Chains A and B, each alone.
Chain A
């Protein structure tokens, strides 16, 4: 082929392709009504222990705009899938939710540019979520008790401020409090957890009385993103005790992110204590989530 012909082809093909693909991409953008209709289906069939996600992940605000009233902090800030039995996915652009893994969908419907799929996850292994019980905990920092108080709304918030103290929290002193929050972890993922900064010397302590253990305790812990990302902070050590006897220890070093540990436990009623300590309190916004689980049958 002559060079002039090739040049002609290139000069025409490139801009024409670019403009054509531009309009094609715009035409593939889902209408708001597509999201609404997809949400309507999910809403009509939603059951307890259903998880709702979207794919790709950046569509999450669009998902919450149509189904946010059914997506509480526990769902949005989940540590894993163990608490859920079915998975609803609203997806666009052919994306597949990471939570679906290699499962095949039990339901597949298309609303314009939005695809709704439902996946069966199997029976939940979670017997109780310890974060749910935090309001009834006994909390202390060293020898100081931290009473649960309903305080006036905090001030501030915004970038770099970490977690916002909730109205209801265990207040130890002017600067130390513990409560259920949604934390931004090292992977910039929301984590619903119990905010429990470490004590230096003596630990901070959350005591949950009358916890019915099963055969497994799954514990997650991590720090606020900006406290962990420079990898300069002191390790945080968590000890979990049942009736005063240690059942497991988690040492969290910067860079570990949302760290998971699983401990075998003896079924029975116990007083469960979570003690958190470090050699420094500087930028140690530690948070944990834990649940009592029954291992799924193999």
Chain B
């Protein structure tokens, strides 16, 4: 982890980033705005107003009344990404950058996704080699569920980027010799940014602390056994946790400075923020035919959902990579015990195992709400993909030794393409039904329906009804939008996809058309429509691989 990665790796990373963002921009219009996105668009508007006021009249903007008015909006989530949505919105308004109203907000998430690929590539290239980095980045890009979330103006992809970046910076900071190293400063600042992005960041110091103690203990064992007290293996990092100090001294101020809501009544509001997430509401989620709405939740949930939604070839490589790295880790531990220098004195595998496992373990706790599908453990995926990249690289070494020299240069491309093909095929096919998509282990989409797996959430699939609205819903009609928010529905019109004279409503009884998003617990809405409309016959059923996603009823 010393020295800088070659410029070529940054060039490759940048190319991946640009290409991915271009794909996301091109595919975004097919995905309707989700519930949470519509909330964050509302927040971004409020914050944008305050930012303009700050420039225009800072004296007024900095009063508690002005701050509270703007920043009370969605104050249960930290501000960084929403502030970026606001800035992107303001930039678009001034410069006319985007063709659709939703894109300035979503672009931030897309850029985060692109930057994440860049980072994964650079990490893989630096830790092992370019082949690892490139395969890992492509494997991540071709995960169907993260591909869906990469389109959104939400926090899940930005926090994945933030957690990966902080972890990378932490690892580099451990190796830094000087107190005021750039990597240490980056570690602190990035941790502040992660805190200001989403609460997933709270667990990072715990993971790092376990890793740090492991590194110190291993070094101590090595020193005792070998008598070596001066080499990198003997003192791989400073005994004092500078990284933790940097997180406290730099990270916490960055977090507080980024969030005007905390500038007044700081402790009370911090408590409120923490309490919201520590005592989060439980929502409904279907899992193997059972509608879970209250703890205890099934421990198997994140593991099974990972198995069901990550392409098996990719997941198989990730598990193989973990096994190979576990073997390497055991070898390094054994070396230290025998007084031989470990190959990786910073035991980065321990850190990566922690980062890959911790998000899933947290969601597996029976008391942790499980409403968010797979997105709540996305932060594990970059590390899983790095393991996949490592396994791919090792496989190439074995395979290339078994073929003629003439064919060896083409081997990584051919086998890489073959191994990424399931991810590519499934990701393309998952669009725009990302949250409804299931892979081979689940028996694909119909197999998952047979097993009673959640089919969607957030009501974003209303976006796939645009052709129906344009063909069958007259102007002036009132459409009951079910799980879609009014704001999300209006964005379809603002994006120019449907008529602005189609009116969204939450009043089912008074509507002319009614939607039901097929999730198990939404069944009551279906039954209410039967009563209100006097029929059980939908006018249209939007389906994905033959599985109902949304039913649309028309009042006759």
Chain A residues proximal to chain B, CB less than 8 Å? 2-5, 7-8, 10-12, 14-19, 21-23, 25-26, 28-30, 56, 58-62, 64-65, 67-69, 71-73, 76-77, 92-93, 95, 153-159, 161-164, 166, 181-184, 188-190, 224-225, 229-230
Q: Provided the pairs A156-B508, A158-B508, A188-B520 are in contact, do residues A18 and B311 lie with their beta carbons within 8 angstroms?
A: yes
A2 to B418, CA, bound (A): 22
Q: Provided the pairs A22-B422, A163-B528 are in contact, do residues A58 and B547 lie with their beta carbons within 8 angstroms?
A: yes
Most chain B C-beta atoms within 10 Å of own C-beta, residue among A61, A64, A77, A163: A61
In the complex, the answer to whether B535 meets A69 with C-beta atoms within 8 Å is yes
Q: List 24 A-B contacts (CB under 8 A).
A: A2-B402, A3-B398, A11-B395, A14-B312, A15-B313, A18-B311, A18-B422, A19-B425, A21-B440, A22-B422, A26-B444, A26-B545, A59-B546, A62-B541, A64-B536, A68-B538, A72-B536, A73-B536, A76-B530, A157-B528, A158-B525, A182-B527, A188-B520, A189-B523
A3 to B421, CA, bound (A): 24
Q: Provided the pairs A18-B313, A22-B429 are in contact, do residues A182 and B395 lie with their beta carbons within 8 angstroms?
A: no
A190 to B229, CA, bound (A): 74
Partner of B537, one of A19, A30, A65, A229: A65
Q: B residues within 8 A CB of A154?
A: 509
A183 to B527, CA, bound (A): 7
In the complex, the answer to whether B528 meets A15 with C-beta atoms within 8 Å is no
Name the segment of B18-26, B446-454, B471-479 touching the other chain: B446-454
Q: A residues within 8 A CB of B482?
A: 158-159
Q: Is B65 an interface residue (CB 8 A)?
A: no
Closest 3 CB pairs of A and B: A68-B537, A157-B508, A29-B546
Partner of A229, one of B293, B312, B402: B293
A158 to B484, CA, bound (A): 12
Q: Is B330 an interface residue (CB 8 A)?
A: no
Closest to B447 in A: A25
Contact-residue bracket for chain B: 35 or more
A-B contact count (CB 8 A): 179
Known: A30-B546, A153-B510, A157-B532. 11 other contacts (CB 8 A): A4-B401, A11-B419, A19-B421, A65-B538, A68-B535, A68-B536, A69-B535, A154-B509, A158-B525, A158-B528, A182-B530
In the complex, the answer to whether B509 meets A188 with C-beta atoms within 8 Å is no
A67 to B541, CA, bound (A): 13
In the complex, the answer to whether A14 meets B313 with C-beta atoms within 8 Å is yes
Most chain B C-beta atoms within 10 Å of own C-beta, residue among A12, A19, A21, A23: A19
Q: Provided the pairs A21-B444, A73-B536 are in contact, do residues A14 and B425 lie with their beta carbons within 8 angstroms?
A: no
Q: Provided the pairs A18-B440, A155-B509, A157-B480 are in contact, do residues A69 and B525 lie with their beta carbons within 8 angstroms?
A: no
Partner of B540, one of A65, A69, A72: A65
CB distance from A57 to the nearest CB of B (A): 9
Q: Is B353 an interface residue (CB 8 A)?
A: no
